[in-house]
């Protein structure tokens, strides 16, 4: 998930650059601290592009960033089709760990950042749609891999990894994240063993 930030400058078109820049800023500093001015500075987009691409204002840009972040994760999950539940879990957690490592524990999930800070029902609905889509995709992947209770584990994986990222950022240490990741990996291995023994 961290890779997308390094590519935002190469995105085709000003609008795409602005959306990618907004994703980065939301994940690093939250909703309130993310402004059009900072997005322009980060992406080098011309000032007039604000009104051209996002005439409805900041919420329109944030909504686009939430949707882009959601699509990015789904695309990564699609690449895990046919993998074992253990491998899916390891990869999902590894993406979050990589993000923390590359940002020195200073960035998290842009969708979560919007969820906890917005007063907009529309933005909250969009964030909810993203989390539901992630949960549904993981459920399908885990079910295909024979994991018992795939929906429950998919929900737990998302909630626990998001919380672990928050702890790592707050404590400025990867240790809380690794503790949660180790627990989740132990759970999926144990579930896999039970499934194989049946």
Residue 160 to residue 180: CA distance in whole angstroms: 7
Q: Which tens digit of pLDDT belongs to each residue from 64-103?
A: 999 999 999 999 999 999 999 999 999 999 999 999 999 9
Report the distance separating Cα 138 and Cα 127, nearest Å.
17
**Residue 83 φ/ψ, nearest 5 degrees:** -80, 165
Q: Does domain 3-197 bear CATH number 3.40.50.720?
A: no
Q: Would you say residue 196 has pLDDT above 60?
A: no
CB-count exposure of residue 59 (10 Å: 0-12, 13-18, 19+): middle
pLDDT for the residue 50: 87
Q: What is the phi-psi region of residue 148: left when phi exceeds 0, alpha when psi lies from -120 to 50, beta otherwise?
A: beta
pLDDT in tens, 128-180: 999 999 999 999 999 999 999 999 999 999 999 999 999 999 999 999 999 99
Q: How far apart are CA 138 and CA 92, in angstroms?
A: 10
């Amino acid at each position: 998930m961290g890779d997308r930030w390094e590519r935002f400058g190469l995105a085709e078109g000003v609008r795409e650059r602005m959306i990618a820049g907004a994703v980065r800023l939301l994940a690093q500093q939250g909703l309130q601290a993310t402004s059009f001015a900072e997005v322009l500075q980060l992406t080098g987009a011309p000032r007039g592009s604000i009104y051209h691409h996002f005439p409805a204002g900041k919420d329109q840009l944030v909504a686009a960033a939430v949707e882009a972040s959601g699509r990015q994760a789904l695309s990564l999950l699609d690449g895990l089709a046919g993998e074992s539940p253990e491998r899916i879990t390891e990869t999902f957690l590894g993406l979050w760990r990589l993000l923390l490592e590359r940002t020195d524990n200073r960035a998290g999930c842009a969708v979560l950042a919007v969820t906890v800070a917005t007063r907009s029902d529309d933005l909250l609905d969009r964030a909810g749609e993203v989390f539901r889509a992630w949960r549904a995709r993981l459920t399908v992947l885990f079910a295909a891999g024979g994991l018992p209770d795939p929906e429950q584990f998919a929900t737990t994986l998302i909630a626990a990894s998001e919380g672990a990222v928050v702890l790592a950022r707050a404590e400025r240490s990867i240790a809380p994240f690794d503790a949660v990741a180790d627990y989740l990996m132990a759970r999926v291995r144990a579930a896999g063993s039970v499934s194989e023994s049946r």
